[in-house]
A and B are shown apart, each in its own frame.
Chain A
Amino acid sequence: MNPKAGPVATLVKVLLSLLYGVPLLWIVLTSFKSSADVFGTQSSLLFHPTAQAYRESLNADLVHALGQSALIAVGTSALTLVIGVPAAYGLARTTGWLPTTGLGLLIVLQMMPQTATVIPLFQVFGSWHILDTTGAVVLSDSALLIPFATLLLRPFFRVVPPELEEAASIDGAGMLRTFWSVALPVARNGLFTVGTLIFLLAWGEFLYAVNFFLTPGHYPLSALLAQQVSAFGINWPGLMALAVLTSIPILVVFTSTYRLLRDGLTVGAVK
């Protein structure tokens, strides 16, 4: 890979740094303001920083919600990958009307407004007697994300050279084994990336969580975040502080997969 960046690439990087750095800076600055300072024009950069919003956010509820979020995100990622990865592989390796229709259906499902799915799913979970359980949220989040994950993963399996699988099957490997030990490793960049994305999306999902949990104390972080905005007032510092706090685990997950991606690349480059 080419390590040097040309002037155009540098320009793009400067642009992106501004586009994403400024809002992030603004979020962090607001989280350290008192709510009286948020709307004062003269205090946009000069203000008395206070960690009050963080002190108010850091409590037992937050820790509990963090656990819920982790459970939901891990459960959803696992279930989505277990179902979505084979489906993506299957769609990449078959032809004919069936997989084509399947792909079309996935796109249509991806298009469903999430709000329109809440009420029917409420009925389904009600009849299964799993309302107010983490399982219901994991199932619904997975249903939301599987079409997305499958569509996204398919191209990564398309680029796995079929000769590799041919060679493995000549060596006597079965279909499952070929998938597991030939296709999966080659598609690993895509797997890590999509896995990370699924985790982050499940972490932030909010609509299903506030609808399918009926008792307090089950809500994940995303629902706590929503509580900062009400019809009677918006706690801006609180919202921004919670946004920063709830996203720190995201950063950890991303950084570790980023390492994996980079190291994976290095392994390839040495050979």
Chain B
Amino acid sequence: MSAPAAPVARQGGRSGGTATRGTDARTPARYRRRPQKRLVFLLPAAVFLAALSVYPLIQLVRMAFSAVTAATLNSSWVWTGLTNIRTGWASGQTQQAIVRTVVFVVIVTALGMALGLGGAIALRTRGRWSGILLAVMVFVWALPPVVNGSVWKFLLGSNGLVNTLLLDLHLRQTPAPFLYSQYWALGSVAFVSSFAVIPFNALVYRAALLNIEPEVFEAAAIDGANKWQEIRHIMTPAVRPTTLVLLVLTIVYGFRGFDFIYVMTYGGPGTATNTLPFLGYLQAFVRYDFGLGASTSILAVLGVLVLAVVYARSIRREEADR
């Protein structure tokens, strides 16, 4: 960080400290007259992603509308229009997978966002416990899914720690079928997936909370604000842009959730945890019907595309509010 930066930053901090409803709530007219010059900052990313990300995306879309198997992957693909999507739909697996994906996404998003923000607020305080807990959470977050998934598979097993506790405390007569009942399994993998996203959300939220100037809290304390009022009137508005992007990222994370299903249930029992990404994997990389698998993946992308439009519109509104 260059030397002259610090005083400017501090100055910014002071001026930002007076605003309690969102620190980014003002954009002077002068500034808005010439913003488009800054599009140049997008250039490196545009070039890089065009070279390495757009081609796979186009290939995926092409695949979804073509007959592609292991035999034809390395040769030319025959365009078949909507055949793949119709095949998936006719089998009935697509519809079931959509319902399961929605349930999965709702659980992951609700738990991930609530405990992410709650965790960040609780861990905002300085002290050894907060520091160690945050380190533990990040440590666990960074472990590969095969490790976290296996650990939870053990913990949730019929002889696992959770069931041992439930039986010893006489909360249940028989072990809870966390991973092998068709009704519980989806909830269990969704819980473990949210377990794996909470540290990330908490860490990002924490960084956003750290941006609120201490003076804001001091002023609020002088006004006699209690904890809930601090959270409602200072913290939640201040992290609103972060909430928006985390919400999008968490929903996307839920929509592409694959690793824990793979490690913990392999889509089972039967097909009870076959969500869109897992179904797409089975079709593309187990059955080697790349076209069918791509069409299933495309459906998930379409679902997220709706989300992307909502996000873009809410950002427009955020800008129009200025």
Tell me the A residues contacting B by CB distance below 8 Å.
1-6, 8-10, 12-13, 16-17, 19-24, 26-27, 41, 44, 82-84, 86-87, 89-91, 93-96, 98-105, 107-113, 115-117, 119-121, 124, 139-140, 142-143, 146-148, 150-152, 154-156, 158-168, 175, 179-182, 184-186, 188-190, 192-194, 196-197, 200, 203-204, 206, 222, 225-226, 229, 236, 239-240, 243, 247, 250-251, 254-255, 258, 261-262, 264-265, 267-269, 271
Contacts and interface: CB of A to CB of B under 8 A. Distances in A.
Nearest to B214: A269
B290 to A, nearest CB: 8
Contact of A23 (B37, B152, B315): B152
Interface string B9-51: 1111111100000011011101110011111111011101101
Given A91-B42, A117-B56, A158 B142 contact: no
B241 A271 contact: no
Contact of B211 (A21, A142, A189, A250): A189
Contact of A261 (B147, B210, B294): B210
Contacts of B118: 12
A162 to B, nearest CB: 5
A120 B55 contact: yes
Given A94-B36, A161-B26, A182-B5, A12 B15 contact: no
Contact of A115 (B38, B134, B252, B284): B284
Contact of A95 (B14, B35, B281, B284): B35
Contacts of B24: 158-161
Chain B interface extent, by class: 35 or more
10 contacts: A12-B122, A13-B129, A82-B44, A117-B53, A139-B52, A146-B49, A155-B242, A161-B16, A162-B26, A250-B139
Nearest to A225: B144
Which 6 residue pairs of A and B lie closest in terms of their CB atoms, listed nearest first? A90-B41, A87-B45, A185-B5, A155-B241, A143-B52, A193-B207
Nearest to A251: B139
Nearest to B195: A19
Interface string B309-321: 1011001100100
Given A6-B227, A159-B24, A225 B146 contact: yes
Given A104-B308, A155-B245, A181 B4 contact: yes
B125 interface: yes
A236 B153 CA distance: 13
A203 B142 CA distance: 8
Given A161-B24, A200-B142, A175 B38 contact: yes
Contacts of A10: 122
B interface SS class: helix
B135 interface: yes
Contact of B230 (A2, A44, A142): A2
B15 A161 contact: yes
A119 B142 contact: no
A268 B15 contact: no
B210 A20 contact: no
Interface in B175-222: 195, 198-200, 203-204, 206-208, 210-211, 213-214, 217, 221
B78 interface: no
B315 A103 contact: yes
Interface stretch (B79-87, B91-99, B166-174, B299-307): B299-307
Contact of A247 (B139, B195, B221, B249): B139
Given A17-B133, A24-B136, A116 B12 contact: no
Given A165-B31, A184-B1, A1 B36 contact: no
A83 B45 contact: yes
Contacts of A197: 200, 203-204
A269 B207 CA distance: 15
Given A22-B155, A83-B48, A102-B42, 5 more contacts: A22-B161, A87-B46, A150-B45, A226-B144, A254-B139
Contacts of B261: none
A225 B147 CA distance: 9
A182 B8 contact: yes
B131 A116 contact: no
A96 B319 CA distance: 10
B38 A108 contact: no
A214 B224 CA distance: 65
Interface string B255-284: 110100000000000000000010011001
Contacts of A146: 45, 48-49, 53
A16 B44 CA distance: 40
Interface centre among A163, A206, A240, by most chain B C-beta atoms within 10 angstroms, is A163
